[in-house]
Chain A
Amino acid sequence: MNPDDRKYTEEHEWVKLEDADSRQALVGITDFAQEQLGDIVYFELPEPGSTVAHLGKMGEVESVKSVSDLFSPVSGEVVEVNAALTDNPEVANNDPFGDGWLVRLVMSDPAELDGLMTAADYESYISGLS
């Protein structure tokens, strides 16, 4: 269920390296996260051009009932924010690993990926939570 072409955090974000040369990567939340949140109504995301830190707070996600912090799996500079989420935040509910990505960034230290969980690690991590 969790694609194995990317890495995962304990805070239920994923990061997928798109291109090793340019260090460009997509960041999003997991299916487990969207399921726990319920209907998502709002994202507060960093502006393009801003920098985010490895496992640092990068924004917030609001569902009808709750507000949660979002953490960046890796450090880098945000180059694009998923504009579709502004009007249709539910895309992150419907397709969290695809069209529901949050930000595109240029990683400053690709070695950070090595410290994150694989899909199999994450799978056993979330099965221990429920």
Chain B
Amino acid sequence: MTETNLRTPLYSAHIDLGARTMPFGGWDMPVQYSGILAEVNAVRTRAGVFDVSHMGRLYISGPKATQFLDWVLTGSVQSLAVGRARYCMICNEAGGVIDDTIFYRLAEDRYLLIPNAGNRDAVVAWFHHWIGTKFPGECLIDDRTEATALIALQGPQAVEIMDGLCALDSGEPPSSLRPFAWAEGKLAGDAVFMGRTGYTGEDGFEVSASSDRASAVWQSFLDAGALPCGLGARDVLRLEAGLPLHGHEIDEHTTPVEAGLERFVRFDKDYVGAEVLLRQRDEGTERRLVGLAVPGRSAPRQGYAILREGQNIGRITSGSYSPTLDTSIGMGYVLQGHASPGSTVDLDVRGRITQGQIVPLPFYARPRKKQGH
């Protein structure tokens, strides 16, 4: 069996920059350029730029687009204003997470939804199933993933860089965008769509452009001083910021309530999985996602057992050395009753028992600036 991975419009730019690539979610993606530690540091202290074109771009439209999305998403769709975006989950009937996603309200009856690369086909199939069942002929899905690029500019200097390169169609600078708002503009003469969103715990933008203009936009960010960053740094950054990754903290057998993501779940609307999620909120769950701090640089890794007094109480879902905090961190599930911050657990690190402490998430939160200047 031969499988050919997809390549983003920026693939040759990555090779020219000396990136090491790896298959991820059906794509050949850059995992690192200058090195994960340098890339993480750039995003935390200056600015980094990521090719995230492997993430899906699904345009959903039609007279029942809002009702349809309210049926398949855990967040409220009808209450979202045009011009804004929201993060939430797509659940199955058992409340398990098919994917997590950001969706943008482009117009009254038109949305852009960003699924994870490896889940795009599953999400499209799931959506077609429900459109056929409940909203036949009243919703359209237009998958434009392979016709566009998505580039994330992240870090404390991201706003300044965007303001220097780009004007919104409104005439305002990109810095006028509030978090989770979107706008259209011109970047180096090219039409772009941008959201004040990201997956690193830093301020920044995610910018979509047509495939043929992707290299120009990417190069503008590099010329403005942003360091090219790969999926390796992105994974460390999101972990430090306590953000879940599908396939690790969340999957089809894990619910948003178990994962501590209740703030992205509505309990006052009817949708796929609502019954289970409501029951779990009221009755509790057997296990709970927690953060773990482990002294030293030997990191807990996915699959390691979490123990207390020799009893297996859970399992690590993600872990890494955190260069920002200079300690090792991880997330994992533990049985209820063992989830309180401050309590100590043992980790089975390849046969060595190491102590860790349950800590509140996120591990890292960026220093907040006051509004205005």
Residue numbers of A with Cβ under 8 A of B are: 38-39, 41-42, 44, 60, 62-65, 67, 89-90
Contacts and interface: CB of A to CB of B under 8 A. Distances in A.
B341 interface: no
Nearest to B301: A67
B350 A67 contact: yes
Interface string B286-330: 000000000011110100000000000000000011010000000
Given A41-B297, A64-B236, 5 more contacts: A39-B36, A42-B298, A64-B232, A64-B321, A65-B232
Contacts of A90: 37
Interface of B: 20, 31-32, 35-38, 232, 235-236, 296-299, 301, 320-321, 323, 350
B37 A39 contact: yes
Secondary structure class of chain B's binding surface, majority of residues: mixed
Contacts of A65: 31, 36, 232, 235, 320
Please give me the 9 A-B residue pairs with the lowest Cβ-Cβ distance, nearest first.
Answer: A42-B297, A64-B36, A41-B321, A39-B37, A41-B297, A39-B35, A42-B298, A39-B36, A65-B232
Contacts of A63: 36
Given A38-B232, A67-B350, A44 B36 contact: no
Interface centre among A63, A64, A67, A90 (most CB of B within 10 A): A64
Nearest to B36: A64
Contacts of A60: 350
Contacts of B299: 41-42, 62
Contacts of A42: 296-299, 321
Given A64-B236, A64-B321, A44 B298 contact: yes
Nearest to B321: A41
29 contacts: A38-B32, A38-B35, A38-B232, A39-B35, A39-B37, A39-B38, A41-B37, A41-B299, A41-B321, A41-B323, A42-B296, A42-B297, A42-B298, A42-B321, A60-B350, A62-B297, A63-B36, A64-B36, A64-B232, A64-B320, A64-B321, A64-B323, A65-B31, A65-B232, A65-B320, A67-B301, A67-B350, A89-B297, A90-B37
